[in-house]
Amino acid sequence: MFRIEAYVLFVMGSFLLLTALNIQVGWLFFIVFTLFAILGINFFYPLIILNNINIKRTVNDAYENEDVTISITLENFSKSKKHFIAVTDFFPSTITIETPKQVRMFFLEIPAKGSITRTYKEKAARRGQYTFQPLIIESSAPFGLMRCSKKYMLPSLMTIYPAPLSLISLNSSQPLTGYADSLFFRRSQGATDDFCGLRSYSPGDNLRFVHWRTSAKTQTLMIKEFRLPVSTTMTIFLDVSSNEHEGEGKDSSLELGIKIATSIIKDSLKNGREVQLIANDGFPPLKATSLWSLLSRLAVIPHLESYERLGSHGKKISYGKKVSCYKKVNPNGHSSIFDLIQSVVNQKMDLLHFVLILPINETRPVRSNVTLLLQLLSRLQERRIKVEIVAVLSESFVKPYHLCNPQEQDKNVLNTLTSRICWVTRNEQGVFLA
Amino acid sequence: MKTGTQIKLPEESKLLRILIFLCTMVAIVTLLREEEWPSIVTILVLPATCLGFIVSWIRRNKNNWWLKLIISFVMLIAMVDFFKNLFMTPYDPRIPIANLLLWLQVLHSFDLPAKKDLNYSLLVSFVLIVLAAVLSVDVSYLALFLIYIFLATITLLYNNYLDEIRKCALQQEKYGLQQEKGSLQQEKINLQQDFILLKLLVRYNLKICCIILVCSFILFISFPRVEGFRIRQLPFSMRFNFPFKKETRIVNPGYPMTQGNSMNWTRKGQLWGAFNPNSYFGFTPYLDLSYRGNLSDKIVMRVKTTMPNYYRGMAFDTYNGQGWGMSLEKVEWISSITPPIQVPLESTIMPGEEIIQTFYIKEELPNIIFAAYQPTQVYFPTDSIAQDRYFGLRSPFPLQDGIVYSVVSSVPKENIRLLRKFVSQDYPHEIKEEYLSLPPIPYRVKKLAIDLTKSYNTPLDKVNAVDVYLKNNYPYDLNIPPFPENRDSVDEFLFETRRGYCEHFASAMAVLLREAGIPARIVTGFTNGTYNPFTSYYEIKGTDAHAWVEVYFSGAGWIPFDPTPGYSAMPNAGNRQDRWIAGKTIEYFWDRFLGFFPQHLRIQFPSISFLTNKTLQLIIVILIVLTVIILWKQVLQKQKDKILKFLRNVFKKEKTFHEKIFNLTNAKAVSLFQILCKHLAALGYPRPEAATPYEYIETLPNHLPINEIKLLTQDYVAARFGAKELSSDSYEAGKRLITSLQVKITSKKTPHKIVQD
């Protein structure tokens, strides 16, 4: 790409050449050819400069709101020095709609068979996994009359982990070893040597475990129960695609939920517990003891903006409008968190305790989370599974009326099975327990 | 109100200002040096520019409206001065333009707040350098030009560097990015750091400058100097103090005896004193053939001409046995208040070609206006000049260093075929009387003249015969013994010494021709000199002083002939400037190299004049280009893989020849059909010339796969004339057909075994 100065010089050189031919002045020919030589060198030199050069980019992962350090290394393989090289890196935008930020670096001289590294820092505004765009390396050597550029496709992936919240501390994150308190025991249909008691028959129980003698005595079907080892894995259910989520960007209830999950994960791992993270975003559950793999899993959860937004009447709405009062529909049609919990509970017999992080928005009239939650809790009550609920509230942090003032049949559920409901909300002052 | 983008930010880099200031100063000095301006201007321009740069640095943040007003006012004055000068010297606008640009540069230097203004200043300095190149007459310009190029390229480098770091800084500011400390972008530009940077840039620039100069030199000698529109530039001196008294006689400062002496040239012996190596004895009223000595090789003048030629000074008509003189030295004054001075022409019917010459006198010379014969217009720094009866021009004063004059001449195109038509030897009476007369000549000279010319009928053939005889039988020698007193010089040269220099050859030819009845006279002047490819001037040295002969052809007038060995017989023929200058450039450098040796040693070195041969020059250019390629071999080898990869990509697709070359949509069909015809011809069924494709297939026998051939023909016709693309199925079917025919051809060629029962 030639700059305007190059065209000016070319026109001037052509004019001088014509003049030289007309008036036959030797020095004028020499000047003209010097001018053309300057232009020619400016044409070829950048191509030579950009040859035999390699570029590397190193990206350090970071937590949200922390600085990411990116290092750019230019390696010169040739036997001569390289001069006037500019590198433009495109820092991925951490705010969805903005274009990527350009970072320009200038290398005046790179020694022969040597390398130079430059670093820059950028604040990681939002969790996520970002791919860097191709890096552009340019040279306008030596006089800046022509600019030559090359694109380098460097596979750089940057993960911004969600930042943890220090407010959350749950009982469930404490370590569990072997058999614990009876409250935490699961009396299940699994047959072990450790018989622990009887209970009345529930629909779906296996008839193989009916204690016929007692049943005959009591005239009701009684089922044998056995002690089972309680799983020490910390299971976290995270509702990511619920219609209940609201807010925008970093302030959305989803982001708050993810931060809470981060805190719990960190806390659990600190206490030596394995963590299983299950979210209804279409990805399989992840069971790990590595903090970074779990945080990476949280980082890739799609932002709320990526969901299609539908108005209350099912009409699509465009970006830019205030969306807090609109539905956000999971585009992939993933199952709701309650269905997911049900299926996991059915499969995993040893799951007696888990944490559920979900948004609760009382203002939703139809099939709100509260209704569904109460239904779920009712079912889990029968299985004696303990749930710790972290309810992410809307900005108005109004506690749902149904949960705070439960009806008679719900009171029982809430009092017996749920050890705790942790209300978390966010307002202008920050995040706090409501 | 100005918006943010319109406001010019002041340039804070001192180094950039210093570099541009240096460029400007070098450009001004170069121009002033070439222009030889009056000292007052030199004194004013340089300090004014310095002051301007200082003022513009101090006041870079100010509005400076009053300064701009003053600059505009002074610029108006400079413009008025420019038009005045242009009006005064309409034949050479270079000086007024240079003057104007110089003042423009000076005034502009007072108002250079922003980088853009500084860049303009650099551009104006380049224009000054270009103007200096136009005015330059010698190679000393090269030294200043090299300094300028070095400074200018450093300035461009630094400018580029500033642009780059500012761009980085701007993006940092825009996006609020942080870069690590120690990076160049973070560093505040100050002068001390600038000078550290400058060291680095100087080292880098040395390499770049060398490449630039090598490239420009190769281009310079490789590029043919084709002629353009031949814009007329007719400079002549205006600032010369002329002596009051007009000289009518020949005054040669190298031979002071000529001054105040009567024209008593019949006296024998060395009339004008001892031989002066700095002055040619042929520019005196009497050409004494007994002078011996070598002339100095100092440059006496430079000539800019549209066509190289002999520059005639004087003519001699009377031979006395020992030398040549002028029978009448009477001159006529020609005057003109405004240039040019129109010179009366000798009548001729020979077609003439206009050539323009400008003479830059470097050494003191006689009061002779040298010019190619015949001059028609003279641009001379006087309002009157003299013309002698031999159409030689005289200046009112001896020519001095610094005098510039221009002459427009009409040079007869010496067409031999045309000259051969002038067979008449019936010359006018006055010509016969003056140019055929000879003193008593030894018999053997007369006999030789008759022997040489008797078998030829036309004057041209006779002249050629004498010329060939002299060139073939007499070597050129400057170191010959003096002729004995009272002996005829021509006779001595022809029969005794049998060697001599140009005056002897010319005298011998003139005498022999006169003896053969052809009017002839001796002419002295300068040959065309050595071409300087850098200045495009012909450099004429003292050794280029020469004598030759002018022969009178009845109807055609006086035509020059040069009998001296090593010179063309007809000086004006084929003298057109060569377009290729590679050989001339090498010859010029060789000449400069020989200049380091004493004159007697130079003869030991071989001559390289053969390099001016066009074919050889082309070979030189090719060799230079090849050398460059070999030098870049390393680079090319490194790029080999990439080039091969590129070529592979180009030929990766299975393209037919037509596709590759013509990029035709119907190429495949055309190609297939052509191969089909070729194969059928090989099988013994060639396509008749006038047959259409359909007519052709009708003639084919049934044992061939007629249906397939018909299908391919249909596809071909559809593709060729209906612009329909050949489908891949048809293409494959066609290929199968071609293969089957190929098999048939192979089997046909293989001899069958005859099996006997």
Pairing of strands A234-238, A353-360: parallel
Please check the confidence at residue B369 and state whether its pLDDT lies above 50: yes
* Structure token digits, residue B174: 């825009």
Higher-confidence residue of B201 and A282: namely B201
User: Distance, in angstroms, between A279 CA and closest chain B CA?
Assistant: 35
What is the CA B215 to chain-centroid distance, rounded?
18
- DSSP string over A168-233: ---GGGS---SS--GGG---BS---S-EEEEEE--TT--GGGB-HHHHHHHTS-EEEEE--PPP--
Q: Mutate one of B189, B219, B231, B638 to test the A interface: name it (highest A CB count within 10 A).
A: B219
* Structure token digits, residue B421: 């038509």
Which pLDDT does position B311 carry in this prediction?
Answer: 92
Task: Confirm or reject contact between B472 and chain A (CB < 8 A).
Answer: no
A52:B638 CB<8 A: yes
| Chain A residues whose beta carbon lies within 8 Å of the beta carbon of residue B159 | 143-144
Please check the confidence at residue B26 and state whether its pLDDT lies above 70: yes
Task: Confirm or reject contact between B215 and chain A (CB < 8 A).
Answer: yes
Most distant CA pair in chain B, distance: 128
Which pLDDT does position B508 carry in this prediction?
Answer: 92
| Chain A residues whose beta carbon lies within 8 Å of the beta carbon of residue B216 | 30, 33-34, 36-37
Burial of B271 (0-12, 13-18, 19+ CB in 10 A): buried
User: pLDDT tens for residues B72-119?
Assistant: 998 898 899 888 888 877 777 788 888 888 888 899 899 888 888 999
Using alpha carbons only, give the angle A186, A187, A192 rounded to the nearest 5 degrees. Answer: 105
Please check the confidence at residue A364 and state whether its pLDDT lies above 60: no
| Chain B residues whose beta carbon lies within 8 Å of the beta carbon of residue A37 | 211-213, 215-216, 219
A31:B130 CB<8 A: yes
C-beta atoms surrounding B29 within 10 Å: 18
Q: Which residues contact A217 (CB under 8 A, 6 or more apart)?
A: none
**Is the whole model's pTM more than 0.80, yes or no?**
no
Task: Confirm or reject contact between B532 and chain A (CB < 8 A).
Answer: yes
User: Mean pLDDT across chain A, nearest whole number?
Assistant: 75
Q: Are the C-beta atoms of A389 and A422 separated by less than 8 Å?
A: yes
Please check the confidence at residue B756 and state whether its pLDDT lies above 50: no
| Chain B residues whose beta carbon lies within 8 Å of the beta carbon of residue A24 | 225, 227-228, 304, 306, 536, 577
Which pLDDT does position B3 carry in this prediction?
Answer: 40
Phi, psi of A203 (to 5 degrees): -60, 135
What is the CA B171 to chain-centroid distance, rounded?
51
What SS3 class is residue B549? strand
User: pLDDT tens for residues A17-45?
Assistant: 988 888 888 889 999 999 999 998 888 88
Q: Are the C-beta atoms of B555 and B349 separated by less than 8 Å?
A: yes
Which pLDDT does position A357 carry in this prediction?
Answer: 84
User: pLDDT tens for residues A167-213?
Assistant: 555 544 444 433 333 333 444 444 555 677 787 887 767 777 888 88
User: pLDDT tens for residues B447-504?
Assistant: 999 988 888 888 888 999 999 999 888 888 888 888 887 788 899 899 988 888 888 9
To the nearest 5 percent, what fractions of chain A are helix, strand and coil? Answer: 30, 30, 40
* Structure token digits, residue B142: 């090269």
Pairing of strands B286-288, B299-305: unpaired
Q: Lowest mean pLDDT: which of B142-151, B169-178, B445-454, B605-614?
A: B605-614
Question: Of the candidates A22, A109, A122, which has its C-beta nearest B229's C-beta?
Answer: A22
B130:A29 CB<8 A: no
Kindly report the length of chain B: 757
Higher-confidence residue of A13 and A433: namely A13
Using alpha carbons only, give the angle B655, B658, B664 rounded to the nearest 5 degrees. Answer: 95
Phi, psi of A305 (to 5 degrees): -65, -20
Q: Are the C-beta atoms of B572 and B556 separated by less than 8 Å?
A: no
A388 - beta bridge partners? A355, A420
* Structure token digits, residue A117: 């590294």
Chain B (225-244) residues lying within 8 Å, Cβ to Cβ, of chain A:
225-231, 233
- DSSP string over B590-603: HHHHHTTS-HHHHT
Phi, psi of A262 (to 5 degrees): -60, -45
Best CA proximity match to A296, nearest among A270, A336, A265: A265
Task: Confirm or reject contact between B276 and chain A (CB < 8 A).
Answer: no
User: Distance, in angstroms, between A343 CA and closest chain B CA?
Assistant: 48
User: pLDDT tens for residues B383-407?
Assistant: 888 888 888 898 888 888 888 888 9
Which pLDDT does position B658 carry in this prediction?
Answer: 47
Best CA proximity match to B289, nearest among B506, B453, B83: B506
User: pLDDT tens for residues A255-269?
Assistant: 888 888 888 888 888
Phi, psi of A333 (to 5 degrees): 65, 35
Cα dihedral angle (A237, A239, A240, A244), rounded to 10 degrees?
A: -170
Q: Lowest mean pLDDT: which of A182-196, B467-481, B703-717, B720-734?
A: A182-196
- The order of strands in the sheet holding A67-76 is A53-59, A67-76, A115-123, B178-179
B111 - beta bridge partners? none
User: Distance, in angstroms, between A43 CA and closest chain B CA?
Assistant: 12
Q: Are the C-beta atoms of A209 and A285 separated by less than 8 Å?
A: no
User: pLDDT tens for residues B181-192?
Assistant: 444 444 444 556
Which long-range contacts link B414-420 to residues 24+ away (Cβ below 8 Å)? B414/B350, B414/B559, B414/B570, B414/B572, B414/B573, B415/B350, B415/B351, B416/B460, B416/B570, B416/B573, B418/B350, B418/B351, B418/B556, B419/B460, B419/B553, B419/B556, B419/B559, B420/B458, B420/B460, B420/B461
State what percent of residues in chain A have pLDDT above 70: 69
Euclidean distance between CA atoms B740 and A15, whole angstroms: 64
Please check the confidence at residue B662 and state whether its pLDDT lies above 50: no
Q: Which helix (H) or strand (E) holds B28?
A: helix B14-35
Q: Which residues contact B327 (CB under 8 A, 6 or more apart)?
A: B317, B318, B434
B208:A41 CB<8 A: yes
Q: Are the C-beta atoms of A40 and A146 separated by less than 8 Å?
A: no
B179:A30 CB<8 A: no
Higher-confidence residue of B721 and A295: namely A295
Residue B18 binned pLDDT confidence (cut-offs 50, 70, 90): very high
User: Mean pLDDT across chain B, nearest whole number?
Assistant: 79
The secondary structure of residue B184, as a DSSP letter, is: G
Euclidean distance between CA atoms A431 and A64, whole angstroms: 15
The secondary structure of residue A363, as a DSSP letter, is: T
State what percent of residues in chain A have pLDDT above 90: 7
Please check the confidence at residue A385 and state whether its pLDDT lies above 80: no
The secondary structure of residue B10, as a DSSP letter, is: B
Q: Which helix (H) or strand (E) holds B376?
A: strand B375-379
Task: Confirm or reject contact between B624 and chain A (CB < 8 A).
Answer: no
To the nearest 5 percent, what fractions of chain B are helix, strand and coil? Answer: 50, 15, 40
Chain A (15-44) residues lying within 8 Å, Cβ to Cβ, of chain B:
16, 18, 21-31, 33-34, 36-38, 40-41
Higher-confidence residue of B358 and A415: namely B358
Which pLDDT does position A206 carry in this prediction?
Answer: 74
Q: Which helix (H) or strand (E) holds B444?
A: helix B443-453
A122:B177 CB<8 A: yes
Euclidean distance between CA atoms B379 and B91, whole angstroms: 9
C-beta atoms surrounding B650 within 10 Å: 10
Higher-confidence residue of A178 and A7: namely A7
Which pLDDT does position B348 carry in this prediction?
Answer: 67
Residue B264 binned pLDDT confidence (cut-offs 50, 70, 90): low
User: pLDDT tens for residues A309-356?
Assistant: 554 444 444 444 444 444 444 444 556 788 888 888 777 766 777 888
State what percent of residues in chain B have pLDDT above 70: 80
Q: Mutate one of B216, B355, B535 to test the A interface: name it (highest A CB count within 10 A).
A: B216
The secondary structure of residue A412, as a DSSP letter, is: H
Which pLDDT does position A186 carry in this prediction?
Answer: 43
Best CA proximity match to B281, nearest among B298, B257, B301: B257
Euclidean distance between CA atoms A88 and A105, whole angstroms: 6
Which pLDDT does position B267 carry in this prediction?
Answer: 47
User: pLDDT tens for residues A236-252?
Assistant: 888 887 566 777 777 77
Question: Of the candidates A48, A109, A118, which has its C-beta nearest B200's C-beta?
Answer: A109
User: Distance, in angstroms, between B674 CA and closest chain A CA?
Assistant: 44
- DSSP string over B459-471: HHHHHHHHHHHHH
Best CA proximity match to A54, nearest among A23, A91, A85: A85
A103:B175 CB<8 A: yes
Q: Are the C-beta atoms of A279 and A336 separated by less than 8 Å?
A: no
User: pLDDT tens for residues B583-601?
Assistant: 778 778 887 777 777 766 6
* Structure token digits, residue B440: 């008593």
Best CA proximity match to B398, nearest among B246, B287, B544, B265: B246
Euclidean distance between CA atoms B122 and B154, whole angstroms: 12
